[in-house]
Amino acid sequence: MTAAPSARGLAAPPEPELDDRVSGSTLYHLAACERRVWLLRHAPGEQAPPGEFDLALMERGRLHEEAVRRRFTGLVGPLWRWGQPLEPAAAETLRLLRESRAPLDQPLLLSADGRRVGVPDFLYWEDGALVVHDAKLAESVDRKPEIALQLTHYARLLEEAGFRVARLEITSGLGEVLDVPRLDDASYDAAIARALELHGAAPEPDLLLAHSTCAECGFYDRCWDRAESEGRIEVLSGVRRNHLPILHGMGIRTIADLAAREPHELEVRGLGRLGPPMVLEARAHRDRRAVWIARPELPAGRPRVWLDLEGDPQDERFGHVIYLWGLGVEETPGAFAAEAILAGPGADGDELGWRRFVERASAVLDEF
């Protein structure tokens, strides 16, 4: 399915939300953040509109899907488009699956109770069984639980309608056809049960993901404004998700709770040497002032040099892990000069950028 809007760069889901039914899109979001599933259902108006980056990502997804579509011959469809009623498209999909062996474009699959729906990009036949095929911008299916969950969803809907499924696969952003491992039935059933709860009367999950993840989500303002106004410890950069059960177990839920402790009290199993600096960070937030963790071990009276790297982990297409290298020199206090080196386009762009950076950094270090 053509990528649907997603605000602030969170990778585009496979299909739009389809009222309160559990769709591939619901499961996509569930794999990333169950609070997002709840918010999309109960407070959709609080989501920020898609930005330029999201629109560019959606366009890339659309072009990729078009390219995959051209690989099929005799494709029938699209059988469903966004905004059209579901039931006629589901009936036509079933008719074509029963009466022909044609590959299908955007078939619509509906469960018997009507509560689950799925729109795989393509279905085709192989030795009397169906292959579920999606176009994805992802370069691999490793560490992509949302892809396995979506495609398992389509497979289950097909099997419940009486069809055999041969396998699940995607055409990746690199144009490779990759097999997708199928989820076991218990995991799929648990995901569906949780999604239905979140669409129903379940309370909003008390969950906040890492700042870097939330920054790409359309609900960032809602979740983070609320967390900051409540003084939640999750907003501290030194507190990671795996620390939360330990801190909660110590009765620490807010920045004020944490700031009131002595640093040595946080030297506990599971936090180790990361514990004491958390207290100092909490005090800096509470008191709105800098709190020194340690004296910087830089020699006084010497020029200072800053080296900085910026990466784009989402650019799977070219794999440019680093796209910007920065150098800054403060020869005397206040006399700061900075320069930036950008990765060029193409597969060698980051390597060439890195070589220029090493050359410049070496020259700066030689000079000072």
**Which residues bind to ligand SF4, rule: CB under 6 A?**
33, 35-36, 39, 207-209, 213-214, 217, 219-220, 223
- In whole angstroms, the minimum distance from the beta carbon of 317 to ligand SF4 comes to 23
What are the angstrom distances between the C-alpha of 343 and each of 60, 306, 307, 315, 327?
A: 21, 19, 16, 13, 14
What are the angstrom distances between the C-alpha of 298 and each of 188, 294, 305?
A: 54, 12, 11
Catalogue the E-assigned strands of 256-321.
304-311
> CA 355 to CA 183: how far, in whole Å?
44
Output 225 or 310, the one with its CB closest to ligand SF4: 225
Amino acid identity for residue 361 in this structure: A
- In whole angstroms, the minimum distance from the beta carbon of 208 to ligand SF4 comes to 5
- In whole angstroms, the minimum distance from the beta carbon of 348 to ligand SF4 comes to 35
C-alpha angle with apex 209: 19 to 5, nearest 5 degrees?
40
Output 208 or 280, the one with its CB closest to ligand SF4: 208
* Residue for token pair 């069984």: 129
Could you tell me if 121 and 106 are in contact, meaning their C-beta atoms sit under 8 angstroms apart?
yes
Output 33 or 109, the one with its CB closest to ligand SF4: 33
> CA 125 to CA 166: how far, in whole Å?
8
The helix (H) or strand (E) run that includes residue 109 is strand 109-110
- In whole angstroms, the minimum distance from the beta carbon of 202 to ligand SF4 comes to 14
Under 8 Å CB-to-CB from 104, ≥6 apart: which residues? 75, 76, 77, 79, 93, 96, 97, 122, 123, 124
The helix (H) or strand (E) run that includes residue 193 is helix 185-199
User: How far from each other are the two terminal CA atoms of the chain, in whole angstroms?
Assistant: 56
* Residue for token pair 């469809």: 77
* Residue for token pair 């070219």: 318
- Kindly state the tokens that stand for 41: 């259902």
> CA 361 to CA 356: how far, in whole Å?
8
Could you tell me if 150 and 116 are in contact, meaning their C-beta atoms sit under 8 angstroms apart?
no
CA 240 to chain CA centroid, Å, is 17
